[in-house]
Structure 1
């Protein structure tokens, strides 16, 4: 296997892993919240968990599907933040899981040429690699916000790494 192919496979594998990790943490976070808490806003300048999940779906479709496949970008970002209900936890999670699955399929099918090609997304110019990095970090960023809100509401740890010794030292 040549180095470029190996690099591409590693990039894809780690993007998938990080997206799956965020989904795992989001499932745990959402499981602790009531239906009302999903749409509760911490204050007027912050978003509800429901808004953040809708926002993640929109962003992932824009960066991970429309851009990487060069399909039409039909995202309506304002609706992601103005929605105040209409989805229960199960529906929100299903929508996010479906979106992540589709994005992972697109990333797996992305060619080296497309990974290197630059394209405008939201007014920024990114390569396909840049889009993938954005997808992973943006999902992780909002996963952390949702986890923080769940911990704050419930005053308990979520146990993301229960049973794992996070104090182990690196081995070379």
Structure 2
């Protein structure tokens, strides 16, 4: 195996791990809330969990599918934030999982040349690698917001890492 394929495989493996890890945490958060709570807003200037899921789907599609595959960019970003109802928890979760799976399929198929090609997305100029870094960090950012809002609603820890010793130190090389 050459270094390029090793690098690509490691990059893709870690991108997929982070996408799946965010989905895992969102599933745990969703299990704690009611249908009504999905559309509640902490205050008028913040977004509901439903809005955040729609926003994640739009962002993942724009950065992870359209920019990498060359597919049409049909995102209507304002609708992600103005929607106030109409989708159930499971529908939102299904939409997010489908979008993540489509992003993963796109990443698997994208060429190395496209990963280093500069593409404009939302007025920013980044390579395909830059766009994948953005979509992972953006997904994590909003996953944290969802977790925080659910913790506030329920006054309890969500136990994302209850079976992991997070105090474990790195092994010395």
Secondary structure at the aligned position of 1:15 is classed as: helix
CA distance in 2, matches of 1:147, 1:25: 8
Task: Tell me if 1:121 matches 2:112.
Answer: no
Structure 1: state its 5+ residue gaps: none
Where do 1:86-125 residues align within 5 Å?
86-125=86-125
CA distance in 2, matches of 1:128, 1:7: 15
| Deviation of the 1:71 alpha carbon | 1.1
Secondary structure at the aligned position of 2:162 is classed as: coil
Secondary structure at the aligned position of 1:85 is classed as: coil
Paired position in structure 2 for 1:37: 37
CA distance in 1, matches of 2:62, 2:127: 14
CA distance in 2, matches of 1:18, 1:36: 29
CA distance in 2, matches of 1:31, 1:163: 18
CA distance in 2, matches of 1:53, 1:163: 26
Where do 1:21-170 residues align within 5 Å?
21-170=21-170
Once the two structures are superposed, what CA deviation does each residue of 1:122-163 show, in whole Å capped at 9, x if it has no partner? 000110000110110000000000000000000000000111
Once the two structures are superposed, what CA deviation does each residue of 1:39-62 show, in whole Å capped at 9, x if it has no partner? 000001100000000000000000
Q: CA RMSD in A?
A: 0.6
CA distance in 2, matches of 1:107, 1:134: 14
| Deviation of the 1:111 alpha carbon | 1.1
CA distance in 1, matches of 2:121, 2:25: 27
Secondary structure at the aligned position of 1:35 is classed as: coil
CA distance in 2, matches of 1:164, 1:79: 38
CA distance in 1, matches of 2:125, 2:151: 36
CA distance in 1, matches of 2:168, 2:121: 40
CA distance in 2, matches of 1:163, 1:61: 32
CA distance in 2, matches of 1:87, 1:98: 15
Structure 2: state its 5+ residue gaps: none
4+ residue runs of structure 1 moved beyond 3 angstroms? none
Secondary structure at the aligned position of 1:158 is classed as: coil
Aligned residues: 172
